[in-house]
Amino acid sequence: MKEISEFQRKACTIAMLGSGGAGVMTAAEILLRAAGRAGYYGLMTKSFGPQIRGGEAAAFVTLSTAPVDIQGDQVDLLFAMDWQNTERFAGELHISSDTLVISGLPGAEPPAIVAGHQPTLVEVNLKAMTRSHKGTRPNMVALGVVAGALGLAQETVNDLVNERLTAKGEDAMAHGTAAIELGYGEAEDLDFDPLPASDGDTPRWIISGNQAAGYGAMRGGVRFAAAYPITPATEILEWLAPRLQKAGGLLVQAEDELASINMIIGGAFGGAAVLTATSGPGLALMSESIGLAVAAEIPLLVIDVMRGGPSTGIPTKSEQSDLNIAVYGLHGDAPHVVTAPNSIPDCLFTAQWSTHLAESMQVPVIMLSDQSFGQALGIVDRPAELAFATRRQVATTPAAADYQRYAATLSGVSPMAIPGTPGGQYIADGLEHTETGTPSSGVADHNKQLEKRLTKVVDFDYGNHWAEIEGSGPAAIITWGSTTGPVRQAMQRIDPHGERLRLISLRLISPAQPDRLAKALAGCGRIMVIEQSQMAQFFGHLKAQFDLPIHADLYARPGPQPFRADEIAAKLEDWLS
Amino acid sequence: MSTETACPLTARDYKSELKPVWCPGCGDFSVLMAITKALAETGRRPEEIAVISGIGCSSRLPAYTNCYGFHGVHGRALPLAAGLKLSRPDLLVIAAGGDGDGYSIGGNHFLHACRRNVDLTYIVMDNQVYGMTKGQPSPTTPPEWDSALAPGGTGLRPFHPLVIALAAGANFVARSFSGDPANTAQLVLEAIRHPGFSLIEILSPCVTFRPEDRNWAKRVHPAAVDETQDRARAARRVLTDDGFNTGILFRGDRPPYQPPYNPAEAGPVDFEVEFRP
Ligand SMILES: Cc1ncc(C[n+]2csc(CCOP(=O)(O)OP(=O)(O)O)c2C)c(N)n1
Ligand code: SF4
Ligand SMILES: [Mg+2]
């Protein structure tokens, strides 16, 4: 018999559906926050129709007493404000006969993708209720119904609703409370198991991957940013812009990505720790100038929040298909660093770490986050404070006659003079140069500088941050980024004690760490690589750079469908048997 | 190390030891001379100045100064310079390059630099050709000019950079001729002193690929009318002149774009409260 993981036992997934303006996102976010205040972990993802504004929308909230990094396999509770265009969510809305479906529109037929699974169907007359209590809003009644069904304290929900409505005045707040009361009243008649008891009010954070990335970079010291808006990275910029200002920094909206990357190169040359954030198309535009930053040894962070590609592709959905351009997309022999977070809170860690790497090695770092982290909201443990000691090596008292900006030191890192420093004047150059920075096309200079730039990146001590390793079984799964969550959940289900399986999730994608991987794989007879890319870019990278054993197996498929734990569990069961 | 010095700095103090790669007779030599002369007049020390360029013969200029410099990629000098100036308002930042670099591959940045109006001085050495890549037509090349890449000429109307700069919001527009380094130095100095984005277009002949332009010395003449603060008048004048009138053509009063650097009243820790559920 299969062991049921802690996650499966205690997690509960709620979906809220509604057409444009129905307010399901607001309701779902309040629900998530209420659960957060009550001591649950959670995850909220959003799905929208193709309209820019006002189309149908679905919010998914998974709550648990254990950390949640993916949506549950099945929807336990579905609240539909209406059934308009629900078919759009066919691939995402997993209904079963155990699902409790609440329809807010009595008499309306649920579509086949719902009704076909024969769930329990209950009707709640939102219209009648909001009509009988003037001023109440249907989404708040729906929120009351769902929160009541889950057994969340009504007071907490009221508090949250009131916090949102304070600006709108006393009346609005009273209507909000009344709507919640109506919903809780309806919930009393429902036959639904409330959430199991939580740990109480543990201090947790509610944060999106994009906020976490912005915050991590600020913790790492970033104070100057320039960027051009692009889905799904824009939230990083919108989060940073006002906060950088408050922290004595600045974010500039550039005319395009060619400008944004060059603006931050200018800022970094001036001494600031800098970043830009973009997605695949923007990264492609930046690549020439990232090469410049490699040659001129300019530290900077580029966050690529990946989406379905190529070209405009699927801007609102995730895919792990920018690995090749991030690792191999620069012209010339251009050593740089590519990192990837493996969870929402890890977006914070990895952004902070990436800033530290960029500054320590005076090198561009590309961090590959993705839409599924960036635009999801998680309730997570408060991330630890990190202190990375090394900062940029600066030439504080260079003597004009001997200062060598590009001195071939042992570590490859050479002290950088910051404009304003007397005696440190040099020309940062994309042309190959001598140690002082004078252009040179000589063999010896080219070799020396190539060697310097490679050494500093390859010899750097990345410590044990290069990967996350869990379990000690003889069959290893190697993965990265947002595929880590579903793999982890699948492993907990089929191997709860980590005796059969081992998870290795790479945080440092490049430069490759073949020795470290070999050590992590010690004792493993079998290996499977799992990734969300049709062309198996990660697998190719591992095979090319990491001495991956020849018999390694592969499970790779494209987005936009996120991996589900049951999908991967089935794969692994099959693979192990 | 003390940065004070008793005697004032001269143009020599702003020149590096490096020997330019330019062809003998190239107009850019005089432009370099004019720039170093102007810099000596600014009272700013070499380490407080940064000269930023893209790629081209003219873009080699930063290395021939004794200032901080950045020789970046083709066409991107302006955003790099803006990023530096915005993060380091204390520095004097100059961008320099050619007509291909600034008006063709970097054309979008040119528009937005004018519009953004960061306090920069942009020096374009316009030789109406791509010198570095050996003689292809640029956006300012006359339509009939014959070359290997465009046999019989491009047939295209040349671009009017000064009018475009005016329309896009540049705050100071001037034209000069490399063969007149004294006046050029004066104009560069005025451009540097004027707040906001200053464009100075220096006609700087490429003696190798357009030897016919040696005759520019005979064609240039000082602007017949005084400088103006009226954008429309300046634009009309530039559109209707012969392309060889030199001097300050427009001096505007737009405030430069320099978002205030608030003293750091908050650090990252202060944002933690936002993440409480
Ligand atoms: C991305 C890119 N495309 C093309 C080139 C080749 N290239 C180098 S300089 C140049 C034109 C330079 O012309 P201009 O800016 O007028 O400078 P000049 O040499 O005339 O001073 C070109 C096309 C390049 N370096 N980079
Ligand atoms: S090719 Fe023309 S622009 Fe380039 S250095 Fe020679 S003369 Fe000057
Ligand atoms: Mg030219």
3-state helix, strand, coil in chain B (%, to 5): 40, 15, 45
User: For residue B270, which residues of chain A lie inside 8 Å, CB to CB?
Assistant: 246
| Mean pLDDT, rounded, of chain A | 95
Q: Are A373 and A403 in contact (CB under 8 A)?
A: no
What integer pLDDT is reported at residue B6 of this predicted model? 55
Of A20-24, A477-481, A508-512, B249-253, the least confident: A20-24
3-class DSSP state of A463? helix
Q: Are A535 and A321 in contact (CB under 8 A)?
A: yes
Q: What are the two backbone dihedrals, phi and then psi, of residue A488, each rounded to the nearest 5 degrees?
A: -60, -45
Of A98-112, A198-212, A361-375, A428-442, the least confident: A198-212
Mark yes or no for CB contact B275/A250 under 8 Å.
Answer: no
**Residue A348 carries which DSSP code?**
H
CA dist A533 and A560 (Å) reads 10
Find the A253 Cα to ligand 1 centroid distance in Å: 27
Question: Closest-CA residue in chain A for B89?
Answer: A270
Q: Where are the beta strands (DSSP E) in A414-454?
A: 427-429
CA nearest ligand 1 atom 3, residue: B74
Mean pLDDT within A207-226:
97
CA B224 to chain centre: 24
For the Cβ of B127 lying below 6 angstroms from any atom of ligand 1, the answer is yes
What integer pLDDT is reported at residue A3 of this predicted model? 42
CA nearest ligand 1 atom 2, residue: B74
| Alpha carbon distance, N-terminus to C-terminus of chain A | 14
| pLDDT class of A91 with cuts at 50, 70, 90 | confident
Q: What atom in ligand 1 is closest to the CA of residue B97? A: 15
Task: List chain B residues with pLDDT less than 50.
Answer: 1-4
Question: Closest-CA residue in chain B for A35?
Answer: B277
The DSSP bridge partners found for residue A42 are A63, A379
Does the reported pTM lie above 0.95? Answer: yes
In what helix (H) or strand (E) does residue B126 lie, and over which residues does it extend? strand B121-126
CA dist B252 and A527 (Å) reads 68
What integer pLDDT is reported at residue B224 of this predicted model? 80
Q: What distance in Å separates residue B249's CA from the closest CA in chain A?
A: 27
The tokens describing B25, both together, are 């007779």
Mean pLDDT within A502-517:
97
Which residues have C-beta within 8 Å of that of residue B125, sequence separation ≥ 6? B27, B28, B31, B58, B61, B96, B97, B98, B99, B178, B202, B204
* Strand A501-506, strand A475-480: pairing: parallel
CA dist A530 and A556 (Å) reads 6
Give the position of tokens 């009595």.
A106
3-class DSSP state of B112? helix
| Rg of chain B taking only CA atoms, in angstroms | 20
pLDDT tens sequence across A94-135 = 999 999 999 999 999 999 999 999 999 999 999 999 999 999
In one-letter notation, the amino acid at residue B88 is R
Buried b or exposed e, range A476-505, using 16+ CB within 10 angstroms: bbbbbbbbbbbbbbbbbbbbeeeeebbbbb
3-class DSSP state of B20? coil
For the Cβ of B252 lying below 6 angstroms from any atom of ligand 1, the answer is no
3-class DSSP state of A439? strand
CA dist B21 and B61 (Å) reads 10
- Report all structural domains of chain A as residue ranges with CATH numbers, in order of start: 6-187 (3.40.920.10), 206-381 (3.40.50.970), 463-576 (3.40.50.920)
Q: Judge whether residue A477 has pLDDT over 80.
A: yes
In one-letter notation, the amino acid at residue A206 is I
Q: What distance in Å separates residue B99's CA from the closest CA in chain A?
A: 18
In what helix (H) or strand (E) does residue A204 lie, and over which residues does it extend? strand A204-208
Q: Judge whether residue A425 has pLDDT over 80.
A: yes
Find the A185 Cα to ligand 2 centroid distance in Å: 84
User: For residue B71, which residues of chain A lie inside 8 Å, CB to CB?
Assistant: 427-431, 439
Q: Where are the domains of chain B?
A: 11-275
| Rg of chain A taking only CA atoms, in angstroms | 26
What integer pLDDT is reported at residue B263 of this predicted model? 82
The DSSP bridge partners found for residue A337 are A365
User: For residue A247, which residues of chain B lie inside 8 Å, CB to CB?
Assistant: 264-268
- Among candidates B47, B86, B112 on the partner chain, residue whose Cβ is nearest the Cβ of A422: B47
pLDDT tens sequence across A253-275 = 999 999 999 999 999 999 999 99
In what helix (H) or strand (E) does residue A255 lie, and over which residues does it extend? none
User: For residue B80, which residues of chain A lie inside 8 Å, CB to CB?
Assistant: 262-263, 265-266, 269
Q: Judge whether residue A203 has pLDDT over 90.
A: no
Q: What distance in Å separates residue B96's CA from the closest CA in chain A?
A: 14
Q: Are A313 and A288 in contact (CB under 8 A)?
A: no
Q: Judge whether residue A5 has pLDDT over 70.
A: no
What integer pLDDT is reported at residue A21 of this predicted model? 84
3-class DSSP state of B121? strand
Mean pLDDT within A171-200:
94
| pLDDT class of A9 with cuts at 50, 70, 90 | low
Percent of chain A's residues with pLDDT above 90: 90
Q: 3-state SS of A498-549? A: CCCEEEEEECEEECCCHHHHHHHCCCCCEEEEEECCCCCHHHHHHHHHCCCC
For the Cβ of B172 lying below 6 angstroms from any atom of ligand 1, the answer is no
CA dist B257 and B86 (Å) reads 9
CA dist A65 and A202 (Å) reads 11
Q: Are A237 and A225 in contact (CB under 8 A)?
A: yes
- Among candidates A37, A206, A270 on the partner chain, residue whose Cβ is nearest the Cβ of B84: A270
| pLDDT class of A2 with cuts at 50, 70, 90 | very low
Ligand nearest the Cα of residue B127 is 3
User: For residue A274, which residues of chain B lie inside 8 Å, CB to CB?
Assistant: 83, 87
Cα–Cα distances in angstroms (integers) from residue B79 to residues A490, B72, B74, in the given order: 47, 11, 12
Cα–Cα distances in angstroms (integers) from residue A28 to residues A19, A181, A551, B128, B202, in the given order: 14, 17, 45, 61, 61
- Among candidates A270, A289, A423 on the partner chain, residue whose Cβ is nearest the Cβ of B73: A289
Size of interface A-B (CB pairs under 8 A): 187
**Ligand 1 pocket, mutate which of B64, B74, B178 (most atoms under 8 A from CB):** B74
Q: Judge whether residue A10 has pLDDT over 90.
A: no
- Among candidates A37, A255, A264 on the partner chain, residue whose Cβ is nearest the Cβ of B83: A264
3-state helix, strand, coil in chain A (%, to 5): 40, 20, 40
Q: What distance in Å separates residue B97's CA from the closest CA in chain A?
A: 15
What integer pLDDT is reported at residue A479 of this predicted model? 98
Q: Judge whether residue A474 has pLDDT over 60.
A: yes
CA dist A273 and A268 (Å) reads 6
Question: Closest-CA residue in chain B for A439?
Answer: B63
What integer pLDDT is reported at residue A20 of this predicted model? 79
Number of H helices, E strands in chain B: 8, 8
* Strand B121-126, strand A508-510: pairing: unpaired
If one counts every other C-beta atom within 10 angstroms of the C-beta of residue A537, the result is 21
CA dist B44 and B47 (Å) reads 8
The tokens describing A417, both together, are 């003079």
Q: What are the two backbone dihedrals, phi and then psi, of residue B79, each rounded to the nearest 5 degrees?
A: -65, -35
Q: Judge whether residue A4 has pLDDT over 50.
A: no
What integer pLDDT is reported at residue A7 of this predicted model? 47
CA dist B231 and B175 (Å) reads 15
CA nearest to A78, candidates A120, A35, A42: A120
In what helix (H) or strand (E) does residue A44 lie, and over which residues does it extend? strand A41-48
- If phi > 0 it is left, if psi is from -120 to 50 it is alpha, else beta; for residue A569 that is alpha
CA dist B69 and B65 (Å) reads 8
Q: Judge whether residue A504 has pLDDT over 70.
A: yes
CA A418 to chain centre: 34
User: For residue B111, which residues of chain A lie inside 8 Å, CB to CB?
Assistant: 255
CA dist B178 and B118 (Å) reads 26
- Among candidates A37, A211, A422 on the partner chain, residue whose Cβ is nearest the Cβ of B3: A422
In what helix (H) or strand (E) does residue A162 lie, and over which residues does it extend? helix A154-165
Q: Supply the DSSP string of A114-130, one letter for each residue.
A: HHTT--EEEE--HHHHH
* Strand A300-306, strand A364-370: pairing: parallel
Of A48-57, A498-507, A532-541, the least confident: A48-57
Find the B161 Cα to ligand 3 centroid distance in Å: 13
Domain B11-275, what architecture? 3-Layer(aba) Sandwich (3.40)
Q: 3-state SS of A207-238? A: EEHHHHHHHHHHHCCCCEEEECCCCCCHHHHH
pLDDT tens sequence across A360-418 = 999 999 999 999 999 999 999 999 888 887 789 999 999 878 999 999 999 999 999 99
Mark yes or no for CB contact B87/A266 under 8 Å.
Answer: yes
In one-letter notation, the amino acid at residue B84 is L
What integer pLDDT is reported at residue B38 of this predicted model? 98
For the Cβ of B11 lying below 6 angstroms from any atom of ligand 2, the answer is no
Mean pLDDT within A517-522:
96
ipTM above 0.95, yes or no: yes
CA dist B66 and B70 (Å) reads 12
CA dist B126 and B113 (Å) reads 18
